Amino acid sequence: MGWFSAEISTMHDLFLHGLQDIYYAEHQIEKSLPDMIKKASDAQLKKGFQMHLRQTKGQIKRLDRAFKLLKEKPKGTKCPAIDGIIDEANEIAGEIDDKVVLNAALIAAAQAVEHYEITRYGTLTAWAKAMGHSSVAKLLHANLNEEKATDKKLNTLAKSKINRKAIARKQKKPTRAEREAMMQATVGIPAI
């Protein structure tokens, strides 16, 4: 069921779909964070990802409680947006050999995830309040606050050192043989 599906006909349907969307997203994030922890070479970044993994598990528990308060079964619905963000992050990370530059890419990917979560939790919190689900709104708002704090920490870490270190890295100059092979490849001459 997509956001503009005929199966969504009431505000409750839309709200429930949004909860299922973020529930799926949180589970995907929980699965991807251990890989990000492993790839991060900066100690602060690694520690931040470890902390966010613990927070994500807590956020899933809050979502479980939100579903229970609504007398709904906790379940996710496939979210192409978060899948795309995670796939893109994995693709880019797989192309970066320099660990310092990889740290900058990991922060960028993590912030893309955070921004997605912030938009979802902000909307869901507003809808919960408007629909009179104040207990659910409090749970969602707690998740929203954690996502905003994580984004702020990532931003500070990026600006204070990670990006600066990545920018300072010198691009590896190709050897003479590599330059010649590139030149021959561009004109279609086989390298010897």
99: domain CATH number is: 1.20.1260.10
Q: What pLDDT, in 10s, does the model give residues 144-182?
A: 999 999 999 999 999 999 999 999 887 666 567 766 766
- The range of the structural domain enclosing residue 48 comes to 11-169
CA atoms within 13 A on the CB side of 189: 8
Is 135 a member of any domain?
Answer: yes
Q: Under 8 Å CB-to-CB from 3, ≥6 apart: which residues?
A: 17
Q: How many separate domains does the chain show?
A: 1
Q: How far apart are the C-alpha atoms of 184 and 192, rounded to whole Å? A: 9
161: which DSSP letter?
I
Say whether pTM exceeds 0.95.
Answer: no
Average pLDDT, the chain: 89
42: which DSSP letter?
S
CA atoms within 13 A on the CB side of 112: 16
Is 123 a member of any domain?
Answer: yes
Is 42 a member of any domain?
Answer: yes
Is 1 a member of any domain?
Answer: no
At residue 93, the pLDDT reads 84
174: which DSSP letter?
P
| 118, two tokens | 């912030």
Burial of 100 (0-12, 13-18, 19+ CB in 10 A): middle
- Are 166 and 101 contacting, i.e. CB atoms less than 8 angstroms apart? yes
Q: Which residue has the higher pLDDT, 97 or 179?
A: 97
- The pLDDT confidence band at residue 3, using thresholds 50, 70 and 90, is very low
Is 192 a member of any domain?
Answer: no
Q: How far apart are the C-alpha atoms of 49 and 43, rounded to whole Å? A: 10
Coil, strand or helix at 10:
coil
Is 187 a member of any domain?
Answer: no
Torsion of CA 143, 80, 75, 139, to 10 degrees: 10
Is 188 a member of any domain?
Answer: no
